[in-house]
């Protein structure tokens, strides 16, 4: 380990990062995340743990690496802690829309250096380039936001009724044909005054009325 640490210090573009319960974007689904957390924490569901949501911290890490001001090892995770029981309450139907962040039970000194690097070692230009947050996000709050976004995306996947005007021309019919091919469960209401360049036959599988 000592040899590894010394080797890392020789290169400005290498940081040895220790992640705590890393969570990827692919994990940010209720069933997948619940299965993962159960496999890790089921022996004590009320015990609080640190968590690293990669999409929260990777932009910060990349920005730190970009400026090359830091080498060595760093502990990285989101702020706050979360338990399996807390996560189950978070995804239950009884959870309120206004999230109440649970108090931390583990010393936040763990990420003091990471927060210091984030605030002091990233230039404004680099921060803008990587869209790196100035504040390390809270784990429970981030999970709540991500799961809400997933829920909105799922509701958007339900069948829709779309109103289109001028859909019998070349551009309009191309749009309608592409849309129905991509989303066959959707319905489109097409209103067209049928100019000489318009043709009902431009729309495939249409029901005219």
The length of the chain in residues reads: 209
User: Which domain does 188 fall in, by range?
Assistant: 161-202
Q: How many domains does the chain have?
A: 2
How far lies 117's CA from each of 41, 61, 186, in Å? 30, 9, 49
CA dihedral 17, 20, 25, 31 (to 10 degrees): 160
End residue of a domain, out of 120, 140, 156 = 156
Sequential pLDDT tens for the chain (209 residues): 677 767 776 776 778 888 999 999 888 888 888 999 999 998 999 999 999 999 999 999 999 888 887 777 889 999 999 999 999 888 885 444 544 555 554 446 788 888 888 999 899 999 999 999 999 999 999 998 888 777 666 555 678 888 998 888 888 889 999 888 888 888 899 888 888 878 888 887 666 54
Which residues, in sequence order, are bridge partners of residue 138? 79
> Burial, 82: exposed, middle or buried (Cβ in 10 Å; 0-12, 13-18, 19+)?
buried
32 and 134 part of one domain = yes
């Amino acid at each position: 380990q000592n040899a590894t640490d010394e080797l890392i210090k020789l290169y400005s573009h290498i940081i040895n990062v220790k992640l705590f319960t890393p969570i990827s974007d692919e994990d940010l689904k209720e069933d997948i995340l619940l299965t993962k957390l159960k496999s890790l924490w089921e022996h004590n569901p009320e015990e609080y743990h640190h968590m690293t949501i990669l999409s929260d911290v990777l932009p910060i890490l990349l920005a730190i690496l970009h400026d090359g001001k830091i080498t060595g090892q760093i502990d990285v995770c989101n702020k706050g802690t979360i338990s399996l029981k807390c996560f189950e309450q978070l995804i239950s139907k009884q959870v309120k829309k206004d999230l109440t962040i649970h108090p931390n039970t583990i010393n936040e000194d763990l990420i003091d250096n990471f927060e210091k690097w984030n605030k002091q070692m990233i230039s404004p230009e680099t921060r803008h380039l990587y869209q790196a947050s100035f504040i390390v996000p809270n784990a429970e709050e981030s999970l709540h936001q991500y799961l809400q976004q997933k829920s909105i995306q799922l509701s958007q996947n339900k069948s829709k009724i779309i109103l289109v005007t001028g859909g019998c021309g070349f551009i309009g019919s191309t749009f309608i044909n592409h849309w129905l091919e991509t989303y066959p469960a959707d319905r489109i209401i097409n209103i067209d005054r049928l100019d000489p360049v318009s043709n009902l036959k431009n729309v495939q599988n249409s029901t005219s009325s």
